[in-house]
Structure 1
Amino acid sequence: MSVHDDLMSVQRCLDDLNRSVSRLEQQLGSGGLDIRRVRTDCDHLRESVAMLRAAANTTTPQKRPDLVTIPDTPYDDSLWIDTDDEGLGARDRRAP
């Protein structure tokens, strides 16, 4: 699924949640702290999804970086002349 499809799915779920909360408000009354809190949370979710939709519409998809090919040929040994094999001891000696 694309981001647009996922956002549409979330929007539909939020619409269903909003309808369910409205029915609960009618049954329980809108004066209680619990139902007001649920209503506020539902409104915050709607605002957050709206911000996500706006951000998704303004951003361009990330371009995949160009791949770098690594040759199968061995590296030039002269690159490693002045280094020791770390953790293996000094050159020309056996590791313990």
Structure 2
Amino acid sequence: MSVHDELTSVQRCLDDLYRSVGRLEQQLGGGGLEIRRVRTDADHLRESVSLLREAADASRAAPRVELVTISDAPYDSSLWTDSDDEGLGARDRHAP
């Protein structure tokens, strides 16, 4: 199954849970601490699945990559007058 299918399945299960909790509230009364906690937990699960769906949709979208054009012209050699030749040391010094 794809991520989208899995999330849809989870959403259906949560909808069933939400309806069941609603029926329990009607039968037991909505004022008890236990049923309020179950309702709050079900709400948190719905929010979490919604956030997960948004994250999955965002990761599926291809990121926009800006291309940078690099010129084939040679660089100005004056940019490297104060640098060492990599791996060779400074020009005016000798290796030990």
TM bracket (short chain) = 0.5 to 0.7
Q: 1:8 & 1:43 partners in 2: Cα distance?
A: 17
* Unaligned runs of at least 5 residues, structure 2: 62-96
Give the aligned partner of residue 92 of structure 1: none
Give the aligned partner of residue 4 of structure 1: 4
Q: Cα RMSD (Å) of the superposition?
A: 1.1
Instruction: Calculate percent identity across the aligned residue pairs.
Output: 75
Deviations, residues 1-50 of structure 1 (Å, cap 9, x unaligned): 00000000000000000000000000000000000000000000000000
Give the aligned partner of residue 24 of structure 2: 24
* Unaligned runs of at least 5 residues, structure 1: 62-96
Give the aligned partner of residue 50 of structure 1: 50
| Greater than 2 Å deviation, 4+ residue runs | none
Give the aligned partner of residue 80 of structure 2: none
Q: 1:50 & 1:38 partners in 2: Cα distance?
A: 18
Q: TM-score, normalised by structure 2?
A: 0.62
Aligned residue-pair number: 61
Task: Quote how far apart the aligned CAs of 1:60 are.
Answer: 3.0
Give the aligned partner of residue 13 of structure 1: 13
Q: TM-score, normalised by structure 1?
A: 0.62
